[in-house]
Amino acid sequence: MLRTTTAALTLAALSLPTLAFAAPEGWKPLLEPAELATILEADDSVRVVHVSGDFAAGHIPGAVHSPYAQWRGGPENPGALRDVSAFADVTSNLGIDADTPVVVVHSGANQSDMGTAARVYWTLKSMGVADLALVNGGFDGWVDAGLPVSTTATEVAASDFQPDWTDTWRVTTTEVAALAEAGDARLVDSRPTGFFEGIEWSIARPGTIKSAENLTYDQFFDGTRMIDPTGARALAQTYGLTDAPLTVSFCNTGHWAAINWFALSEVAGVDNTRLYAESMAEYGTQGHPLQNEPGRVSYMWNSTKKWVAELF
């Protein structure tokens, strides 16, 4: 069953139509702050969207604000996809069309925060927005580069964008279960090692998906900056992912996994890399067997240690 599933997913990726929009000069998925400044000076069509941090206290001049929560599911599983019509409303209010070059900006406070921008990037790409980029180091990187900061809100005209959602970069829970059972896709757990080993857990059952391997999202960083394409490609090769027919990135709620998806798909250029958006928070609730799931005694012991740690 897996080979059929993998072949179908790979074929779907190869059949994606090529978009004909021209990106601004110097455009690439991961922009250095100075590179973005140069692009903004030359092209006023670029829409800069801040998704985390204190927007009112400071942002890139001309940017608009779209809090990360607008791009996420509810409290039971923040990784769950919202209805496409909800995404369309958010995107329209930001003045974004399919051919609007969009730069998604996170605060840059830490490595994990880049997941806010990466998840929004993945969502916009799945909606059919052609030219997308993130800022290496986020807004903090922009400030550290000595670039101008504004506290003035920017008003933009709403667009009439109607998204054409594609699952080219997504896998569903049903597909992941089939892939896990058959075992020849690369299922990459992006979480810290304790989650992978079943020692730590939060919203999801302890353990990981059967046949998964652990590539923690922080390996793609040097401090709060993502490593360059050469380094990202080398890391992917070390894990044997560059020749994989299908690579699936997951975590608890699709946040850390979005970092790995972006690093592998957009920066390292690993073909047919997909995000399992709902991740372990959904997978574990459906009774699928897990790898590294602790026994009852271990679970009770770890639960007690976790409770004590939270007290102090």
| Cβ proximity of 181 and 1 under 8 Å | yes
Is 0.85 topped by the overall pTM?
Answer: yes
The token duo for 63 is 């940017």
Lowest mean pLDDT of 52-56, 74-78, 105-109, 153-157, name the range.
Answer: 74-78
Domains and CATH numbers, the chain: 17-144 (3.40.250.10), 173-311 (3.40.250.10)
207-245 pLDDT, tens digit each:
999 999 999 999 999 999 999 999 999 999 999 999 999
Model confidence at 15, pLDDT cuts 50, 70, 90, reads: very low
Three-class SS string for 64-119?
EECCHHHHCCCCCCCCCCCCHHHHHHHHHHCCCCCCCCEEEECCCCCCCCHHHHHH
234-283 pLDDT, tens digit each:
999 999 999 999 999 999 999 999 999 999 999 999 999 999 999 999 99
Three-state secondary structure call for residue 213: strand
Looking at residue 307, its pLDDT comes to 43
91-142 pLDDT, tens digit each:
999 999 999 999 999 999 999 999 999 999 999 999 999 999 999 999 999 9
Q: Which residues contact 234 (CB under 8 A, 6 or more apart)?
A: none
Average pLDDT, the chain: 90
Looking at residue 184, its pLDDT comes to 78
The token duo for 22 is 């021209």
Count CA atoms within 13 Å of residue 68 on its CB side.
19
Question: Any idea which residue has 């940017």 for tokens?
Answer: 63
Instruction: List alpha helices for 169-295, DSSP H.
Output: 173-182, 193-196, 229-238, 256-261, 279-283
Angle at CA of residue 156, ends 152 and 162, nearest 5°: 145
